[in-house]
């Protein structure tokens, strides 16, 4: 198991001793416990020490999830019902995708304030393209073109940031203004809807968000996914052990596989409960696998490719990366392209979710960027670059989605929800800053 660049903080600690024994010096040196643990027990102990010395990884966000779940369940007993939970998953997917998009910019030490509007623009474009009275494109062509367009937007912004060295928050701030105007133009001033089930293309688009697999298929998919993941993890660890590289203990791998299986089963089970008031709606919604595929692809990209390695390098020290031969403009531009692309995917889901899009909804998509940044930071990605993983986007997106869902269930008006989310963002940013205490920073 390699030391994930996303997990090693930027601080430099003098371990004080040459001998990496499993004690406080290891924790202080911020070595990932998987590397030095030789048994499950040692792993757990080292993890605990790490947490106590301030390097807690995804623990805060998991605790946050639990806290949100408990708090809202107490306030409103319907929070943890199957129907609401699936609702929650569904609503969170947009936040998750936007957070994953944002993470590509945050890892570089930049920021992309336009993700919300790219999503808005994407949603409007895809909806307009399938209109039978208008372009009347097949749904898959509409989606492809939309994704290309959003990636192109990312390319333009990325070029401005990477080659002209304009500050990213200004470029994306101006970008979001321009995109808002363009989206309104595309919308043609009124509204566009995909709710008419007579037209197959509209129906296909609608189904993306609202449709689901049958329960049986859901279990099959789960089995296949868990099986593949298990096989992959096992083989990788076995290969490392065979070549005498540093690998996690077998018991740890088994535990991970078990956890994935359990979590996956829980999700499938909850989704398969009938959640309709009348008739039957059951099964895993299509969007969950969609999001998981994006998660898998991005994680692979960031952890196992040169490109990903360079992204972390730039975030850690752009000068060092440049001297090592990394082509900064290329990597930076591609990160913004990916951010745009993933925001485009979010846009397709958004169109499907909202069913009809108006100018007001476009304007409101502005506030999603804050949620995306908050989700990424809550999940554990740092605002200063060099630290974060795509899974943070998933977890943080769930927290944000949970907060929104819970507050909405309690009947809180949208102004107050804005206030709460702002507070959550600030708290997350504070935690990020405080966890960097001790690392060299600004004056």
Partner 1 sequence: MTADPGETPAATVDAGTADLTLDAKVAAADVPPAILAQSLGEYVRVWWLRVRSGNSGLLPVVMAIVVVAVVFEIITPEHAYLRPSNLVYIFGLSTVYMVLAMAETLVLLLAEVDLSVGAVALIGGVIAFKLVQQPGPDWPWWLAVLAAFAICGAIGALQGALTAVLKVPSFVSTLGGFLLFSGVLVIILGGADSTVSLNTSDPNQNVIYEMVQGLISPVVAWIILAVVVVAAGASQWARTVRRRRRGLTTPPLILTAIKLALTAIFGAAVVIICSVNRGSSLRSVTGVPWVIPIVLVVLGIWTVVLQRTRFGRYIYAVGGNPEATRRAGVSLPAIRIWAFALCSATAALGGILLGSFFYGEYSSNTADPGQLVLYTVAAAVIGGVSLFGGRGKAIHGVLGGLLIGGIAYGVSLLSLGSLSTPLQYILPGGVLLIAVLIDVQSRRGAGAVTGV
Structure tokens at 391: 């899974």
* Of 91, 94, 114, 137, nearest in space to 183 by CA: 114
Q: State the DSSP H helix or E strand holding residue 44, giving kind and residue range, or none if neither.
A: helix 40-52
Q: Which residues pair with 192 in a beta bridge?
A: 357
423 lines the binding site for partner 1 (CB under 8 A): yes
Instruction: Determine which residue in the list 132, 134, 181, 227 makes contact with partner 1, applying CB under 8 A.
Output: 181
Q: What are residue 130's phi and psi, to 5 degrees? A: -95, 0
Nearest alpha carbon to residue 145 among 201, 195, 99, 101:
201
Q: Which of 16, 189, 325, 411 binds partner 1 (CB under 8 A)?
A: 189
User: What are the Cα distances from residue 87, in Å, to 44, 271, 279, 391, 404?
Assistant: 35, 10, 17, 20, 11
Please tell me the count of residues contacting partner 1 according to CB under 8 A. 54
Closest distance of CB 131 from partner 1, Å? 17
Of 21 and 360, the one with the shorter C-beta distance to partner 1 is 360
- 99 is an interface residue for partner 1 by CB under 8 A: no
Residue placing its CB nearer to partner 1 in the complex, 76 or 359: 359
Taking CB under 8 A as the binding criterion, the range among 15-23, 290-298, 366-374, 403-411 that sits at the site for partner 1 is 366-374
Stretch that binds partner 1, among 225-233, 239-247, 297-305, 424-432 (CB under 8 A): 424-432
In the list 41, 188, 195, 438, the residue contacting partner 1 (rule: CB under 8 A) is 188
Binding residue (CB under 8 A) for partner 1 from 220, 235, 416, 438:
416
Per the rule left: phi > 0, alpha: psi between -120 and 50, beta: everything else, 125 is: alpha
Region 112-171 residues binding partner 1, contact defined as CB under 8 A: 113, 160, 164-167, 169-171
With contacts defined by CB under 8 A, name the span among 7-15, 36-44, 240-248, 367-375 that binds partner 1.
367-375
191 backbone dihedrals φ, ψ, rounded to 5°:
-140, 160
Query: 62: number of CA atoms within 13 Å, CB side?
Result: 5
CB 30 within 8 A of CB 50: yes
Pick one of 141, 228, 300, 426: the residue that binds partner 1 (CB under 8 A): 426
Minimum CB–partner distance for residue 384 and partner 1 (Å): 8
Range 371-390, binding partner 1 (CB under 8 A): 373, 383-384
Under the binding rule (CB under 8 A), the answer on residue 185 touching partner 1 is yes
């Amino acid at each position: 198991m390699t030391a994930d660049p996303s997990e090693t903080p930027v601080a430099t600690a003098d371990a004080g001793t040459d001998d990496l024994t499993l004690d406080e010096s290891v924790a202080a040196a911020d070595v990932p416990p998987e590397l030095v643990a030789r048994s499950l027990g040692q792993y757990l102990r080292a993890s605990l020490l790490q947490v106590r010395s301030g390097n807690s990884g995804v623990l805060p966000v998991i605790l946050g999830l639990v806290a949100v779940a408990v708090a809202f369940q107490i306030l409103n007993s319907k929070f943890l019902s199957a129907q609401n939970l699936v609702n929650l998953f569904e609503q969170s997917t947009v936040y998750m995708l936007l957070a994953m998009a944002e993470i590509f910019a945050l890892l570089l030490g930049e920021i992309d304030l336009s993700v919300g509007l790219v999503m808005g623009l994407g949603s409007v474009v895809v909806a307009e393209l399938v209109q039978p009275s208008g372009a009347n494109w097949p749904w898959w062509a509409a989606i492809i073109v939309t994704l290309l367009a959003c990636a192109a937007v990312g390319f333009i912004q990325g070029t401005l940031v990477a080659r002209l060295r304009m500050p990213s928050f200004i470029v994306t701030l101006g970008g979001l203004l321009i995109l808002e105007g363009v989206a309104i133009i595309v919308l043609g001033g009124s509204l566009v809807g995909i709710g008419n089930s007579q037209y197959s293309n509209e129906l296909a688009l609608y189904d993306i968000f609202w449709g689901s697999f049958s329960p049986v298929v859901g279990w099959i998919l789960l089995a296949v996914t868990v099986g593949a993941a298990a096989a992959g993890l096992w083989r990788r660890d076995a290969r490392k052990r065979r070549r005498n590289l540093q690998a996690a203990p077998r018991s740890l791998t088994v535990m991970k596989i078990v956890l994935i299986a359990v979590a996956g089963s829980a999700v499938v089970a909850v989704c398969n409960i009938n959640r309709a008031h009348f008739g039957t709606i059951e099964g895993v919604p299509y969007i969950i696998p969609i999001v998981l595929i994006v998660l898998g692809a991005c994680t692979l990209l960031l952890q196992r490719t040169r490109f990903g390695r360079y992204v972390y390098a730039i975030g850690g020290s752009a000068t060092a990366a440049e001297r090592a031969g990394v082509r900064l403009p290329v990597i930076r531009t591609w990160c913004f392209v990916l951010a745009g692309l993933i925001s485009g995917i979010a846009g397709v889901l958004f169109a499907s979710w909202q069913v009809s899009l108006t100018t007001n909804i476009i304007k409101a998509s502005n506030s999603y960027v804050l949620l995306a940044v908050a989700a990424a930071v809550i999940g554990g990605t740092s605002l200063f670059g060099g630290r974060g993983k795509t899974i943070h986007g998933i977890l943080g997106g769930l927290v944000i989605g949970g907060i929104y869902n819970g507050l909405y269930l309690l009947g809180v008006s949208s102004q107050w929800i804005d206030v709460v989310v702002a507070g959550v963002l600030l708290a997350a940013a504070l935690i990020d800053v405080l966890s960097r205490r001790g690392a060299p920073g600004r004056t």
